[in-house]
Structure 1
Amino acid sequence: MSPVWEAAMAQRERREEPKRPPVTIKGVRNRLVFYLDDACAFGDILADLDEKLNGAQARLLSGAQMDVSVYTGSRDLSEWERDEVRRALSRTGSLLVREFVSDRGRRRVTYEPRLVYGPVRAGQVVVHPGDLVVIGDVNPGGLVAAEGDVYVLGALRGIAHAGSSGDREAVIAAADFRPTQIRIADIISEPPEERVPGVAYFEYAYIDGDRVQVDKLWALNGRRPRRRSGEGTRGREEER
């Protein structure tokens, strides 16, 4: 058989690899990971996402609330594109986007804020790698910790640790600031001075130099520019 004929037969027998779908869904640990093909148009991703969420897989993706990670490969999604993905997934009523993961250049991870309904009771520990928002009280003996900011929309009477991975720009804020201990990055601070019972102290804690300072909550907005949740926090690897 001539080399030309062999090449022709090999070309004929070669099978085209199946095309990768715009969206692939896998279960990883205790969450779902949506892998978005970084080589196709974003409109195709939205169309495939809509088909999966409303087609044959709709029943599997509904029910109890489940955390979702969105992996975008070498693609960096714009804020508008992220919002579109969030909206599509939120329509199921059970899928909650916790983070977007990209490996373009260096690995970038943005964690969605975690919302916790209190009270956080004595002995409870709540930890999150992004910003943490507690709606309710943190009681004495309770611990809340985040690699980003900690916001307590209630009374903070327990222990709070912000910037747990070393972020000194993180803050701790509460509608009633009465912690037993606060910590930002590697700096620990004792409780504020004696508090008057029945008076709510709308305050926040931040690092100034090498000390933790406490100021009125209204001053937070002017102290630093607003940042996205998760900026400056440490990312974690996902199984792929």
Structure 2
Amino acid sequence: MVDERIFIKGNKDGINAVVNMNKFVDYEDMVQTLVERLKKGKRFYRGSVLTIIADLTDIDEKKQRKLRDLLFDEVLIRDCIFKDKREKEVKMFSGVYEGKTRFIQKTIRGGQHIDYPGNLVIIGDINPGSEVTAFGNIIVLGKLRGRVHAGANGNKKAVIAAFSLQPEVLQISGILTISPDGEKPQYPEVAKIKDDEIIVEPYLPNKFI
């Protein structure tokens, strides 16, 4: 039997969840039902962008953030977009900071492996012999000298940025490169995919914010 309260369908960017708020007792009833439905397909939805389409009249920003965080934890989605049936789209994050983000305030030492289903911000260095993997972006406020893999779930829009970009291996989605020999620039750089190749550019704040 089709559940008329929540209709879930895939799209080119992830999945849509069309919610009929009139079919629920209250907001909490909707949240519980939505989470239970998505958890049943967790292995398929993990790392996806979820768009929730509903009447947002009584779902304020605080409730949206609470639901988004719950879905990040329970279903491991990459991002959550709320779209009003009146076509007013509210995206929780934009640009480099889009999606769930974890901050790590320490240096990642050789032999350590960090894996996260979202964005990672490392306040410290990534030392040689260490590995850092993320579904989203990897931002390093220090020296990047280990192995890093952004967009590990196939996200080609992910970027890798560091104050000093000197990776052993750098990978975005399924595209991999190594750091060239020679003198390293003394300014922050950003690596991204362009025309199915990884390119590295100087960090320009107005371009990436």
TM-score (norm 2): 0.58
Q: Which of the residues 209, 214, 225 maps onto 2:195?
A: 209
Which residue matches 1:80? 62
Which residue matches 2:136? 148
Amino acid corresponding to residue 134 of structure 1 in structure 2: I
Equivalent positions of 1:227-238 (< 5 A) are none
Amino acid corresponding to residue 191 of structure 2 in structure 1: A
Q: Deviations over 1:188-239 (max 9, x none)?
A: 111044234xx643001000112100001116x526xx7xxxxxxxxxxxxx
Amino acid corresponding to residue 116 of structure 2 in structure 1: H
Do structure 1's residue 99 and structure 2's residue 72 form an aligned pair?
yes
Do structure 1's residue 116 and structure 2's residue 104 form an aligned pair?
yes
Which residue matches 1:135? 123
152 and 98 in structure 1: CA distance in 2 versus 1, 3 angstrom threshold? farther
**Higher gyration radius (CA):** 1
Aligned residues: 143
Amino acid corresponding to residue 207 of structure 2 in structure 1: G
Provide the rounded CA distance (Å) in 1 between the counterparts of 2:122 and 2:196. Answer: 27
Q: Deviations over 1:84-125 (max 9, x none)?
A: x39xxxxxxxxx9782668xxxx9663621111221000100
98 and 39 in structure 1: CA distance in 2 versus 1, 3 angstrom threshold? closer
Provide the rounded CA distance (Å) in 1 between the counterparts of 2:174 and 2:121. Answer: 21
Q: Percent identity?
A: 31
RMSD: 3.1
Q: Deviations over 1:56-109 (max 9, x none)?
A: xxxxxxxxxxxxxxx6533856643234x39xxxxxxxxx9782668xxxx966
Provide the rounded CA distance (Å) in 1 between the counterparts of 2:122 and 2:70. Answer: 18
Do structure 1's residue 165 and structure 2's residue 153 form an aligned pair?
yes
Other structure's SS at 2:148 match: strand
209 and 165 in structure 1: CA distance in 2 versus 1, 3 angstrom threshold? same
Other structure's SS at 2:207 match: helix
TM-score (norm 1): 0.51
101 and 40 in structure 1: CA distance in 2 versus 1, 3 angstrom threshold? farther
Unaligned runs of 5+ in 1: 1-37, 46-70, 87-95, 227-240
Quote how far apart the aligned CAs of 1:148 are: 0.6
Other structure's SS at 2:63 match: helix
Equivalent positions of 1:156-195 (< 5 A) are 156-195=144-183
